[in-house]
Amino acid sequence: MAAEKLQKRLFGTNGVRGIVGKDMTPDLVLSIGLAFGSMRKGRIAVGRDSRTSGESLANAVKAGLMAAGCDVVDCGMLPTPALQYLVMHHFDGGAMITASHNPPEYNGVKIIEPDGTEMGDEQTVLLEERIFSRNFEIQSWEHVGSETKATQMVDYYTNAIIRSVPENIGNNLSVVVDPGCGAASVTTPKILTGLGCRVFSINAQVDGHFPGRLPEPSLEGLKGLAGLVRSTGSAFGVAHDGDADRAVFVDENGRFIEENQEFALVADYICSRRSGVVVTPVSSSLLVETIVKKHGGSVVYTPVGSIYVARTMRELLEKGENVVFGGEGNGGLIFPGHQFCRDGGMTATIMVAILAQSGLPLSKLIDQLPVFHMIKEKIQTDNPDRLINHLAESCKGYTIDRTDGLRITKGDAWALVRPSGTEPLVRVMVESAVSDSARKFYQELMGYVRQL
Ligand code: MG
């Protein structure tokens, strides 16, 4: 499968990120614009999330793109999936200035291909080569590109989502939105209102200082959301990360819904209507596969990273497979009839549809899901490869999968051991439907680690 990971120097799993003024500078972003513009001629859409550095860096990427001969359309502040949707329908490419869920001091760039997906590894390596060798096709005065502004275009995105479900499906439903002062402030309240919901909001003023909570929706940060859900008697609360490709939920009691449960609930809804293939990384809970199989569907696993999920979904569809859904166990869900990227606004919309169809409170729907026990730990090591190879050797009697890191299945338990992309450690996940099996398997693995 083409979803194999290639080594990139600058770009991580989700674009380039860094601390503004330190490793994320207008200089760097200008060269990204020049490189991307040299590779893709045509009309390029540019967007940004709500970070204080967004305008400065958006201007840098636009300068590079125009100098390389591209015409630039500035779509203003909007979620990453909104820009991806606009690119898919109207542009030859896109550049999104965002650091997603990272703290306020970060920013970055995501490059969008004409089909709306993030640039894949092969093309990204070529882009990086251009940046490092400064191989840019800078144009003369007759061929420099121009800029237009189209901040109203975000309405194409919100309207498409509203139209994707039956009219007024959210009637009689009160909901609370927490965009965390990020990009979804301009979209999700509007979408949910458009579905007929009665919408309350918290942290819905655009503010790059993120005064209400950090862009990563954590349990601690969502206390305000949970409180407002309870005091307004709302059916659920939805929160986004800074660029709103992810959505996480609290139920009507303000209880946080673990993201694998969210994924499974949505998979249940989708597969009950149309069973088929669901694509997800090897890090997702077995809960998802259990639900998909209940409806006669199957799961295809990919390396960790939404881009591998999105590209695998496309590839399978091109081969004629019936791909109905995909996503990650972090609130990043992909709806193939809509577009091939994670979409937080669409996820909130599907949650409204789920509640409208079932007539049950969200807490009930979650409690009906099978229970799995997951252990997540980190192991400090200077040599992740050595540790992982040692574990693979120690576990060679079990089923081993090397799609990403090391996935070991032993009876009713499985474990995933992966090196961190940024720190000297490996992440370990162990899961089973039986808590004792998960704990025992985890202890067995730690025994092998101690041998080193
Ligand atoms: Mg994000």
- The two counts, helices (H) then strands (E), for the chain are 14, 19
Average pLDDT of the chain? 96
- Higher per-residue confidence, 13 vs 48: 48
Say yes or no: do domains 259-343+358-367 and 373-450 share a fold.
no
**What CA–CA distance (Å, rounded) separates 411 from 388?**
20
Task: Select from 31, 116, 62 the least CA-distant residue to 335.
Answer: 116
Find the 36 Cα to ligand 1 centroid distance in Å: 21
CA atoms within 13 Å, Cβ hemisphere of 29: 31
Count of CB atoms within 10 A of residue 410's CB?
Answer: 18
How remote is the CA of residue 216 from the centroid of ligand 1, in Å? 9
Average the pLDDT over 333-349 and give the result: 97
Contact 49, 58 (CB under 8 A): no
Q: How far is residue 52's CA from residue 59's CA, in Å, rounded to a whole number?
A: 13
Q: Is there a catalytic annotation at residue 272?
A: no
Bridge partners, 97 (sequence order): 48, 109
CA–CA dist 255, 219 (Å, integer): 9
Amino acid 1: pLDDT? 39
Distance 119 CA to ligand 1 centre (A): 15
The answer to whether residue 3 scores a pLDDT higher than 50 is no
Closest-CA residue to 16 (of 106, 132, 91): 106
Contact 272, 295 (CB under 8 A): yes
Q: Which pLDDT score, from 0 to 100, does residue 422 have? A: 74
Q: How far is the centre of ligand 1, averaged over its atoms, from the C-alpha of 393 (Å)?
A: 36
Looking at 3.90.180.10, 3.40.30.10, 3.40.120.10, 2.130.10.30, the CATH number of the domain 156-250 comes to 3.40.120.10
pLDDT digits (tens, 9 = 90+) for 113-168: 999 999 998 999 999 999 999 999 999 999 999 999 999 999 999 999 999 999 99
Centre a 10 Å sphere on the Cβ of residue 409 and count the other Cβ atoms it contains.
Answer: 15
pLDDT at 5 over 80: no
- 268-326 per-position pLDDT tens digit: 999 999 999 999 999 999 999 999 999 999 999 999 999 999 999 999 999 999 999 99
> Which residues, 6+ apart, have CB-to-CB distance to 339 below 8 Å?
81, 84, 85, 88, 116
Counting Cβ atoms within 10 Å, is residue 361 exposed (0-12), middle (13-18) or buried (19+)?
A: middle
- For residue 343, how far is its CA from the centre of ligand 1 (angstroms)? 9
The whole-angstrom separation of Cα 268 and Cα 242 is 27
Q: How far is the CA of 229 from the centre of ligand 1 (A)?
A: 23
Which residue among 31, 38, 50, 100 is the active-site one? 100
What are the DSSP calls for 166-212, one per residue?
Answer: -TTTTTT-EEEEE-TTSGGGGTHHHHHHHTT-EEEESS-S--TT-SS
Residue 4 has pLDDT above 80, yes or no: no
Q: For residue 97, report the distance from its CA to the centre of ligand 1, in Å.
A: 11
**pLDDT score at 364:** 98
If you classify domain 259-343+358-367 with CATH, what class do you get? alpha beta
Which residues lie closer than 8 Å to 450 by C-beta, 6 or more apart? none
In the chain, domain spans: 16-151, 156-250, 259-343+358-367, 373-450
Q: Indicate the class that CATH gives domain 373-450.
A: alpha beta
Rounded to an integer, the average pLDDT of 57-62 is 98
pLDDT score recorded for residue 48 = 98
Average pLDDT score over residue span 343-353:
98
Question: Topology of domain 16-151, per CATH?
Answer: Alpha-D-Glucose-1,6-Bisphosphate; Chain A, domain 3 (3.40.120)
Q: Which two tokens stand for residue 104?
A: 């306020």
Give phi and psi for 228, each to the nearest 5. Answer: -70, -35
User: What separation in Å is there between the alpha carbon of 434 and the centre of ligand 1?
Assistant: 33
* Mean pLDDT of all residues in 45-74: 98
pLDDT score of 79 more than 70: yes
pLDDT beyond 60 at 26:
yes
Amino acid type, 68: A
Ligand 1 centroid to residue 54 C-alpha, Å: 15
